[in-house]
Structure 1
Amino acid sequence: MRSVRLFDFLQFDSASWQVVAQDGTELALKNLATNRIRRVPVAELLADDSYLPDSPGGFPSLEGAAVLETLDTDARDRAQWLHRHVHEVVYGIPPEAAAGTVPTPDYDLRNRLQDRIAAKLAELAATGTPMGERTLFRHIAAYRKDGVAGLVDGRLIRPASMSGRTDPRVVALLEAEVSGQRNLSTGTRSRAVNRVRVLAAQQGLTVPSETTMYRILRRIERSRHPFGDATTRRTQANRPDRSWGRQAPSRPGELVEIDSTPLDVMVLCPDGTTSRADLTVALDVATRTPLAAILRPVATKGVDAAILLARAMTPLPMQPGWDASLSYSRSVLPQGMLPGNEDVHASIAAKPIIVPESITVDRGKVFIGSTFTAACERLQISLTKAAPRTPTDKPHIERFFAGVNSGFTQYLAGYTGPNVVRRGKDPAAEAAFTLAEVQNLLDWWLAAVWQNRPHTGLRHPAMPKKDLTPNEAFASLAGVAPQIPVTLTREDYIALLPLEWRTIQPYGINFEGLTYDADSLHEYRGVPSGLPLPANGRWEIRYDPYRLRSIYVRDHRKGRWIEAEWTLARQLVGPFSLDVLTAAKKAIGRRGQVPGNELLANVNRIMTAPASRTERQAAGRAAATVPAVPEQQMEAPTPTGGDGQDPVTPIEAASIRPRRKARRIDLLED
């Protein structure tokens, strides 16, 4: 706890000072080097990071103020019983006594402490709970030093280590065995334990019991799934070894992601064979607008990636040969698959042209070759290379590919499905379209369907219930809302907040149906806290019911609090309370919806225009406690949306009769 008193010596603003006077909320500081006097508000001085008193403050720490909440019933009753008797010895009256209560003669403060202790020992012996004199002395000393927390048995709050008394070298062997499961065929835990036993015997190490080995192994596993499905294990291993970041560009073109993937459809090649096409797309993250898409047979080449940049900044009608290709495709495709020129050009005209500023690519030869690099340099576009074999560095475009498959590709003849389990008997025999025809269909679908389909990742605070389309997001994207400054002392404030217990998952912390995350939580993801009951391995969480933008996780290993923020907090119109969150969940339940992305929209709706009386009361309580944030600003969208799985109304349905033998399909908006 920070404090400052008259005539204190302190360090502030890289200088040594002495407090020489006080005028209301201002202090007069005298510079010990120059004798200059400086007037500083008390709040500004205590909140400044450079403030450092020469001598520690005399106020006690609030670290253990809520220790009783972390104990089970028996331990809490024991601590409260000790507190009553120790308090009576030290202060003359029990803690529950009213102000002005006169102490009993045995515990009158005019008596010596030794006499009061003797009286208490006699009282305890008479009630059948005897206690030794040294034990009572120890309790009194601990109470004077740490308060009620000093009366708690330290064995009950001491966290357990992962390996206990097991030789650290044996634990290292177990860790190496778990790490080595990444590319192996899935085995059982017994195989891993037996291998470690053999290695330990070769090194002359003492191995604990089988039960202990399995317990340590399960703690080491965390969320890596070493003994689950091999595909899941490799996917988990591709996660970056750091906290998950969220890219939030504030303007179109600020961040563009480019990637390639085989399209899940068989196309007819010029030589009469069939093969899958390779789709390369440049996606603007801020608006989810695909700047350009190129289909190539077999695999994309470096020159195709360079052309992609040119197409991204050129409207389709202005690209040489596009009109002719479209006219040809319209003439050979079944009637109704491609609309007339007026409809096509109207859709293309509504699609924005976005100039990339920064592009994120993977390390494939297509994107790190001289052709693509030279094109980016020529167009003055910065190039960022994703980590090797880390698709999570480009999450938006990876999700875009899934949206293309569900909304476009699956309606085409020759659709192969995402994997062999979902593949038809002979997709190659159903292939009915050439690469150019699929390219023109895709260009039209992106402009007419994708750009006008709402995406759950695109929201505006002024329209909290409306999912924006990429075209609408481009027109309405605004600046990022400023954060609300916190002026209270962090540690003291958190220590008095309500307590909950939660586990730390790979994605963060699930609290009241919301996901909270912070960079500092990375090393504890999937790791038990080691705290005994009632924690049962979970972590101590503190939350302010009137400010649920963030929660606070107790890092008992490093003696600090970790602030974890709601992953969608930057899209809020203002701070919200637990009452507002409860009202939003009830509103979703009344409409028969599942809490998810709708939760953010309902919270923003209640904060801006609450509908029911209960919601108005909840929003009023929150507004009276926390200042509001301006509504006219919008946070960049989160890496969701556009997955093609939300129910939407088709904009066109055309019965297709392919010119070649193929199944009948309907081209619909998914």
Structure 2
Amino acid sequence: MKWRNACWEGDHKHLPVEVELDGRAVRPWVTWFIDCAKNAITGAAVTPHQPSRDAVLAALRIALSRDEPIGPYGPIGGLPELVRVDRGKEFLCATVTRALGALAVPVQDLPPRRPELKGTVENLNHCVVDMFLAALPGYLHAPAATTGPRPRRGDLDGLLPFAEFTARLLDWVRWWNTEHRPKPLGGRTPLQAWQDDPTPIEDVSPALLRSFTLEDAGSDKVLSTKGVYWRGRYYVGPWMHGKDGTRVRVRFVPTTTTRSRCSTPPPAPTSGRRTSLTPPPRPSGPRCAGPRTPSGARWCGRWPPRTASAAGWAATAPSPGRAGPSRWRR
């Protein structure tokens, strides 16, 4: 695979350096993707905590977009033909699989503890330590000082703020793509090798990328005078005025529920709308069908309470341990 966008490799890296965030020392993580043929970093995301699906989707969105000509990635990006990752739960979670499946990008699941199967991104993980992190304050693998006490782990003196560290790391990514000259590229930079490749690039539409990092709530919601109700909260926006009764689709960032985005869903294949609330039929059979106790008694509870919703009646069974009238019958 010597042409661009033929194969990408992605990985997490727990960086051996401490930075300051909110008055405490943390070890950041980086999630990035690299093109195997041209050795170009296509996208990266830095987090102060262990990355999850939000970091993976953010790095993928940056890698797929090519609308930042002056950024650290330049014109590098587009739609890959294959993405290789290890068996990390974040990479193979339902959100990432659904996002890549919507773009028809296959994911190759590599076995664990086999770094040689994705050597391009593993080499990048080693290079960022030797070329960048080793010269920063707070580097954890620095040799012991010959004079003076060695700084204790967790000491905030001299540590870089997390925002400044992120800016420096992205500047190093820009240097890697535009100035670094790996041996396999014959003296060229990854950007030069990328631009010399005549392989066509398939771009992703901006409309699809706007919702790429958002997760679908799974069902349509109906706007009311209070906004849209989801997960115990009402979400409002200026565009909702005068649109009561409109059915919308909710998308949200996986790690927070303080903000969400609503869009009008496509028309359903069936016409008409349910207007009447018809309760489901009562279950048939004996009411006392619970397990017997050692004394031979059976537990008989109430019928499950029925609650009306906008889509009809829904039966809700009482959860275990809920207080309520019950009796024992032999």
Q: TM-score, structure 1 length as denominator? A: 0.27
Give SS of 2:97's match. Answer: helix
1:452 has 2:189 as partner: no
1:295 has 2:46 as partner: yes
Aligned to 1:251: 3
Aligned to 1:435: 162
Is the 1:347–1:448 Cα contact (8 Å) retained in structure 2? no
Give SS of 1:366's match. Answer: coil
- Residues in 1 aligned to 2:89 and 2:172: alpha-carbon distance in whole angstroms: 29
Aligned to 1:473: 193
1:402 has 2:129 as partner: no
Tell me which amino acid in the other structure corresponds to 2:77: I
- Residues in 2 aligned to 1:447 and 1:474: alpha-carbon distance in whole angstroms: 14
- Residues in 1 aligned to 2:168 and 2:81: alpha-carbon distance in whole angstroms: 28
- Residues in 2 aligned to 1:287 and 1:471: alpha-carbon distance in whole angstroms: 8
Deviations 1:64-121 (A, max 9, x none): xxxxxxxxxxxxxxxxxxxxxxxxxxxxxxxxxxxxxxxxxxxxxxxxxxxxxxxxxx
1:262 has 2:17 as partner: no
Give SS of 2:191's match. Answer: helix
Tell me which amino acid in the other structure corresponds to 1:416: L
Give the deviation of 1:377 after TM superposition. Answer: 0.9
Aligned to 1:277: 28
**RMSD between aligned residues:** 2.6
Is the 1:451–1:471 Cα contact (8 Å) retained in structure 2? yes
Is the 2:67–2:75 Cα contact (8 Å) retained in structure 1? no
Is the 2:43–2:73 Cα contact (8 Å) retained in structure 1? no
Aligned pair partner of 2:104 in 368, 374, 380: 380
- Residues in 1 aligned to 2:101 and 2:162: alpha-carbon distance in whole angstroms: 30
Larger proportion of strand:
2
Deviations 1:510-566 (A, max 9, x none): xxxxxxxxxxxxxxxxxxxxxxxxxxxxxxxxxxxxxxxxxxxxxxxxxxxxxxxxx
Is the 2:46–2:55 Cα contact (8 Å) retained in structure 1? no
Aligned pair partner of 1:352 in 76, 79, 84: 76
**What does 1:78-477 align with in structure 2 at a 5 Å threshold?**
249-270=1-22, 272-315=23-66, 317=68, 346=70, 348=72, 350-417=74-141, 425-429=151-155, 430-459=157-186, 467-477=187-197
Is the 1:252–1:354 Cα contact (8 Å) retained in structure 2? no
The structure having more radius of gyration, on CA atoms, is 1
Larger proportion of helix:
1
Give the deviation of 1:435 after TM superposition. Answer: 2.5
Q: 1:392 to 1:349 in 2, by over 3 A?
A: closer
Q: 1:306 to 1:346 in 2, by over 3 A?
A: closer
Give the deviation of 1:456 after TM superposition. Answer: 0.7
% identical equivalent positions: 23
Give SS of 1:274's match. Answer: strand
Give the deviation of 1:353 after TM superposition. Answer: 2.7
Q: 1:365 to 1:348 in 2, by over 3 A?
A: closer
Q: 1:297 to 1:348 in 2, by over 3 A?
A: closer
Tell me which amino acid in the other structure corresponds to 2:140: T
Give SS of 1:306's match. Answer: helix
- Residues in 2 aligned to 1:311 and 1:357: alpha-carbon distance in whole angstroms: 17
Is the 1:257–1:285 Cα contact (8 Å) retained in structure 2? yes
Is the 2:16–2:141 Cα contact (8 Å) retained in structure 1? yes
Is the 1:281–1:291 Cα contact (8 Å) retained in structure 2? yes
Give SS of 1:295's match. Answer: strand
Q: 1:347 to 1:305 in 2, by over 3 A?
A: closer
Deviations 1:565-599 (A, max 9, x none): xxxxxxxxxxxxxxxxxxxxxxxxxxxxxxxxxxx
- Residues in 2 aligned to 1:419 and 1:307: alpha-carbon distance in whole angstroms: 35
Is the 2:72–2:173 Cα contact (8 Å) retained in structure 1? no
Tell me which amino acid in the other structure corresponds to 1:469: T
Give the deviation of 1:309 after TM superposition. Answer: 1.0
- Residues in 2 aligned to 1:415 and 1:366: alpha-carbon distance in whole angstroms: 27
Aligned to 2:253: none
Tell me which amino acid in the other structure corresponds to 1:471: L
Is the 1:264–1:418 Cα contact (8 Å) retained in structure 2? no
Q: 1:289 to 1:263 in 2, by over 3 A?
A: same
Q: TM-score, structure 2 length as denominator? A: 0.53
How many residue pairs are counted as aligned between the two chains? Answer: 194
Tell me which amino acid in the other structure corresponds to 2:44: A
Give the deviation of 1:478 after TM superposition. Answer: 6.4
- Residues in 2 aligned to 1:269 and 1:382: alpha-carbon distance in whole angstroms: 37
Gaps of 5+ in 1: 1-248, 318-344, 460-466, 480-670
Give the deviation of 1:347 after TM superposition. Answer: 6.2
Give SS of 1:384's match. Answer: strand
